[in-house]
Structure 1
Amino acid sequence: MKKLLLAVALLASSCLMPALAQFKKLGGREGRAQVLLLGTFHFAYPNADIITTDKADQLDVTSPQSQRDIARITSQMATFKPTKIAVEVRPEKQARLDSLYQAYLEGRYELGVGEEYQLGFRLAKQLGHLRVYAIDTWGNLDAYQKPGSKEFEVREDKAAEMEKFWEYMQATVKTRHEAEQKLAGKHPQTLYQKIKEMNQPEAIRKRHENYFREAFQYEAQPYDYTGVDWYSASWFNRNLRIFRNIQRITESPDDRILVIYGAAHIGPLQQAVESSPYHELVPANKVLR
């Protein structure tokens, strides 16, 4: 009986070796679900953030070069062997995401421009996944939001305060962003080069430190915490909620979850994954060769 149990154990161990070898090669340890955070720019340029862009001046993700780059990225992400792919779509839109993905599998849907489609759907189909997971959410803005509003609407008593804050943000953050974009324009990048650069440790660190700059230091009145509460605290709260959604789709230590998200989120999400007793971070730069 002992010999039989030993044989079964050895067989199970041999079956796990390829996956464990891959895990260890990418810097992981046994016993935790792996999470790979892939930071991207927003392919569809929705202009939903403080910084807006002119699509005409940006990379066209539908160009032949960009499509080759997207194929290259998905091919490299496939080497991670994800069991789940999560994207920046809110869970309440999961049914619509499922419907679009099913239509794509059946050849009834041409991929949308967004990274959730170009990267998420494309790779999920390649790997034979049944769905792509929606994990996005908002931060806690109860002190500023109208009670009961589904989309963010500023309370009347906070409207003037928020308008002044927004003007300040446009005058400071946007100016800095435009200077950075002008410098980057001197060294044009392909889509692959841009994504690869975004996922380097130093690039992640620099983006993360932005949340302790102008917005964090903003004070509506001397020594108050308007910038901390309105901008940075809600931002970190949002990312902790996103990580909670990552936890919710984690079903096994054998899970390998690929998270495709706006690059600004990678810093705080990375901290959450590294702090989690249930997860192990796989750095994207180890996979983007």
Structure 2
Amino acid sequence: MKLAVALAALFVLTPCAVAEEPVTVMVVGVFHMSNPGHDLHNVAADDVLAPKRQAEIAAATKALERFKPTMVAVEWPAAITATRYADYRAGTLAPSRNEVVQLGFRLAASSGLATVHGIDVDGEFPFEAVQAWAAAHGQGARLDALVAQGSTRMEAINATLAQGSVGATLRLLNQPEAIARDHDFYRVMLAFGGGKDQPGVALLTAWYDRNFRICANLVQAAKPGDRVVVFYGAGHAFLLRQCIAEMPGYRLVEANDFLPQ
């Protein structure tokens, strides 16, 4: 009984006792600028090293500087990020179309940051098992329709990039309502399975596991008062935003409050 009272007092007193500055985080969902083709749907990015795109990327990072970041986190493992950012600052990194370099390294350098935090982790995405179950249970057409919805979304993103700017494309990717709609695909995977055979559950669990491991890396690196910009593939934005929004001592801000039109 005494232990229960002590624990209750701890939970009541802790928020008052810890008067630390919040960690403010902006999650910027991005498209893969170097066209690796690793996702179900991929943006048809043109050459971001071309002068027009370089000017647009510079405008986007200049706008993000207004956030005054003290930390930048990116979708690469920690060791690779540290080595390549050191080379970037030294001017010895080979030209790269990757969004980590184009957005993350550029913003960190222009903000005077000595390091960039690579917070990525490997993860499984067992979509083939979902496809096999759907085909075996007469659900193939339903799954194909869900994938087609993603293709329609990708067409809109491709059109925005082709006809507009990098900044406009980033704004499209970072609309909160669009982020929520994009996450519907993962959640609907729960419909694909039955009894003890639950490939949709396995896929969704793997997706959540990877994203919250990523978020753990962020939380373990950030310090009270930090202002963090996270550059990650837009498909990760929903869960990373959720993790930050629900984390005590953290505050989520909208990327579109800073990205250029």
TM-score by shorter chain over 0.5: yes
Structure 2 vs 1, CA of residues 86 and 163 (structure 1 numbering), >3 Å: closer, same or farther? Answer: same
Equivalent residue number for residue 73 of structure 2 = 86
Structure 1 letter corresponding to 2:26: L
The root-mean-square deviation of aligned C-alpha atoms, in Å, is 2.9
Over 3 Å counting, the alpha-carbon distance change for 1:170 and 1:66 in structure 2 is farther
Relative to structure 1, the CA distance from residue 52 to residue 81 in structure 2 (aligned partners, 3 Å threshold; closer, same or farther) is: closer
Distance 2:21 2:228 in 1: 14
Q: Report the counterpart of residue 212 of structure 1 in structure 2.
A: 187
Alpha-carbon shift at residue 205 of structure 1 (Å) = 1.5
1:189 and 1:111 map into 2 onto residues whose CA distance is 24
**1:164 maps to amino acid:** A
Structure-to-structure mapping, 1:138-217, within 5 angstroms: 138-139=122-123, 161=129, 164=132, 171-182=144-155, 188-213=163-188, 215-217=189-191
What corresponds to 2:5 in structure 1? none
Alpha-carbon distance change, 185 to 277 in structure 1, aligned in 2, over 3 angstroms: closer
| Aligned counterparts of 1:186 and 1:90: Cα–Cα separation in 2 | 31
Find the partner of 1:234 among 175, 189, 206. Answer: 206
The alignment covers a number of residue pairs equal to 235
Secondary structure of residue in 1 paired with 2:83: helix
> Deviations 1:46-75 (Å, cap 9, x if unpaired)?
11122356x4xx333222221111101110
1:7-43 residue CA offsets vs partner (Å, 9 max, x unmatched)? xxxxxxxxxxxxxxxxxxxxxxx82111110110111
What is the CA-CA distance between 1:186 and the residue it aligns to? 5.9
Deviation beyond 6 Å, 4+ runs, structure 1: none
Structure 2 residue aligned with 1:108: 92
Which is further off, 264-273 or 165-174? 165-174
1:137 aligns to what SS in structure 2? Answer: coil
* CA gap 1:67/1:186 in 2 versus in 1, 3 angstroms: closer
Q: Which of 231, 246, 252 matches 2:218?
A: 246
Q: Distance in 2 between matches of 1:161 and 1:114?
A: 30
> Using a 3 Å threshold, how does the CA distance of structure 1 residues 111 and 122 change in structure 2: closer, same or farther?
farther
Q: Deviations over 1:129-163 (max 9, x none)?
A: 11111101134x6xxxxxxxxxx9x8xxxx98467
Q: Quote the Cα distance in structure 2 between the aligned partners of 1:45 and 1:166.
A: 29
Length-normalised TM-score, structure 2: 0.79
In structure 1, distance between residues paired with 2:64 and 2:159: 29
The percent identity for this pair of structures is 30
CA–CA distance in structure 2, aligned partners of residues 160 and 33 of structure 1: 39
The answer to whether structure 1 residue 269 and structure 2 residue 240 are counterparts is yes
Quote the residue 2:17 is aligned against.
none
Distance in 1 of aligned mates of 2:28 and 2:244:
13
Q: Which runs of 5+ in 1 are unaligned?
A: 1-29, 142-151
Q: CA deviation at 1:183?
A: 5.2
2:29–2:235 contact (8 Å) kept in structure 1: yes
Is there any run of 5+ residues in structure 2 with no aligned partner, and where?
Answer: 1-19
